Amino acid sequence: MKILRSLALVLLPLIALALGWQLGASYQMKHLTSEQQRIAELFSVSSGSGQTVKADPEEEVDITLLWSVWRLLSKHYLEPEKLETKSMVYGAVGGLVSAIGDPYTLFMTPQDTKIFESALSGTLEGIGAQLDLKDGHVQVVAPIKGSPAEKAGLQPKDLIVSVDGKSIEGMALENVVGMIRGPKGTSVTLEIVRGSKPGSMKITVERDAIHIPSVESKVIATATGSIGYVALNQFGDDSVAELKKAMTSFPKEGLKGIVLDLRFNGGGYLDGAVDLVSMFLESGDVVTVEHRENEPEIHRVTGSSILPKMPLVVLINGGSASASEIAAGALQDHKRATIIGVQSFGKGTVQEIIELPGGASLRVTVAHWLTPAGQDLGKKGVTPDIVVDRTVEQYQQGYDPQLLAAEAWLTEHRDVSGGKKTGTGSVK
The answer to whether the CB of 134 falls within 8 A of the CB of 248 is: no
Q: Which of 208, 320, 347, 361 is catalytic?
A: 347
8 A C-beta contact, residue 231 and residue 217: yes
Q: Where are the alpha helices (DSSP H) in 316-428?
A: 323-333, 377-380, 392-397, 401-412
Q: Is 322 a catalytic residue?
A: yes
Q: Supply angle C-alpha 404, 408, 412, rounded to 5.
A: 170
Distance of CA 384 to the CA centre of its chain: 19
Residues in the chain, how many? 428
**SS3 labels along 303-341:** CCCCCCCCCEEEEECCCCCCHHHHHHHHHHHCCCCEEEE
- At residue 390, φ and ψ (nearest 5 deg) are -140, 115
Q: Which residues pair with 231 in a beta bridge?
A: 216, 261
Of 27, 52, 29, 57, the closest CA to residue 41 belongs to: 52
Distance of CA 13 to the CA centre of its chain: 9
Q: Residue 421 gets which letter from DSSP?
A: P
8 Å CB contact between 265 and 21: no
- 340: which strand partners? 315, 386
CB 305 within 8 Å of CB 279: yes
Q: Out of 217, 239, 320, 322, which one is annotated catalytic?
A: 322
* 347 among known catalytic residues: yes
Q: Which of 333, 344, 361, 385 is catalytic?
A: 333
Give the integer Cα–Cα distance in Å for 70 and 151.
46
DSSP line for 142-211:
EEPTTSHHHHHT--TTPEEEEETTEE-TT--HHHHHHHH---TT-EEEEEEE-TT-SS-EEEEEE-EEEE
Q: What does DSSP assign to residue 49?
A: S
User: Annotated active-site positions, please?
Assistant: 322, 333, 347
